[in-house]
Amino acid sequence: MLKLQLAGNAGASALWKKRNCLVRSSGRNLAMAEQSVVPRLKLGTQGLEVSKLGYGCMGLSGVYNNPVPEEEGIAVIKEAFNKGITFFDTSDVYGANNANEYLVGKALKQLPREKIQLSTKFGVVGYDTFKIVVKGSPEYVRSCCEASLKRLDVDYIDLYYIHRIDTTIPIEYTMGELGRLVQEGKIKHIGLSEANPDTIRRAHAVHPIAALETEYSLWTRDIEDEIIPLCRELGIGIVPYGPLGRGFLAGKAVVESVDPNSSLKNHPRLKGENFDKNKVIYFRLEALAKKHGCTPAQLALAWVLHQGDDVVPIPGTTKIKNLNDNIGALKVKLTKDDLKEISNAVPINEIAGSKSSSEVVHQVSWEFAKTPLPK
């Protein structure tokens, strides 16, 4: 009888262990399901697969506001990953003394590297009162890549962008060195940022371009006529930065005050008469958002997300609440008529003020990014 009881207890114990294993397994599966709320797609035609929504890490290192504490920045990046975002964007020029790359590198140490698509950039040497200094020489390309690999503490970079175009040398020279870095396995894909059509076509002829990062939002749509069609012709993915109009389309400066230390307070579209005119446009967007049962930020981001399966915006935020709101934009479904109505509510000819924060910044935007032909 005792043997039977022990056997029964052993059997019950085995069943209990099996049940616990199933419960733990279900928990892991549930966690994986939670991690998959952001769909995935191929960015361009070079085989780079990313989450449909990316995360721009720049703001964590104080470009617009004061830098957040390191542990808070890492927490935001980890939360983004846990929600299904795997495409993270940084640059060697973000933050004081390359702070953003160091921060992202530390966050990556707490995440599975093989599941992350990491993009960084080079090319902006520095700033002075009168211009942004840009460099794209082969020697500079290589030295920047090696330095970024060390700061990020990774063996390779998934997507390496030319941050701004050096108009003093042929783009072919810059691209040639980037191609060699691909061959060496130090970078997997090449991207351009703020490049004009001629530069895009010539660069792509040297080595396939995976993605173009450029400003694109409801209130900045100057790439629609020529650049987007060209990217689609060549199979280049489109990565919009500033998809929320520097936060204005989310209510920044309208329903939420701008930090007095923020550089945004001097943005041409956010001050004086320009701001008064642009507020009218925000309130139109707010009314449409109510109709769609979402926030203005979600509607503005959903509009960008609906521009095509080759479009992957990279909004940034320092707050987990805003991060979750941005992810919520993926649930906003818009028809062609909805998209047209939203576009009409934000007519480009009524936007007051330059898209660039200053003339110095404007001078390195895509309109001026033409390089000489090789000799």
pLDDT in tens, 326-371: 999 999 999 999 999 999 999 999 887 777 767 777 788 888 889 9
> Which tokens hold the place of 345?
């509510």
What pLDDT score does 59 carry? 94
Examine the residue annotation and report whether 102 is marked as an active-site residue of this protein: no
**First CA to last CA distance, the chain:** 96
Look up the CATH number of domain 37-245+304-333: 3.20.20.100
Write down the residue that tokens 């509009």 correspond to: 303
- Dihedral pair phi/psi, residue 131, rounded to 5°: -165, 165
What pLDDT score does 27 carry? 38
Residue from 94, 160, 241, 282 carrying the catalytic annotation: 94
CA distance 88 to 54: 6
CA distance 312 to 90: 15
Residues 148-181 have pLDDT tens digits of 999 999 999 999 999 999 999 999 999 999 999 9
What pLDDT score does 258 carry? 63
Low-confidence ranges of the chain (pLDDT < 50): 1-35
Burial class (CB in 10 A: 0-12, 13-18, 19+), 97: exposed
Q: How far is CA 270 from the centre of its chain?
A: 22
Number of helices (H), then strands (E), in the chain: 12, 11
Write down the residue that tokens 């840009």 correspond to: 134
What residues does each domain of the chain span?
37-245+304-333
Q: Work out the angle between the directed axes of helices 320-328 and 70-82 (0-180°, nearest 10).
A: 20
What pLDDT score does 126 carry? 86
Write down the residue that tokens 């990062």 correspond to: 213
Residue among 225, 164, 174 nearest 202 (CA)? 174
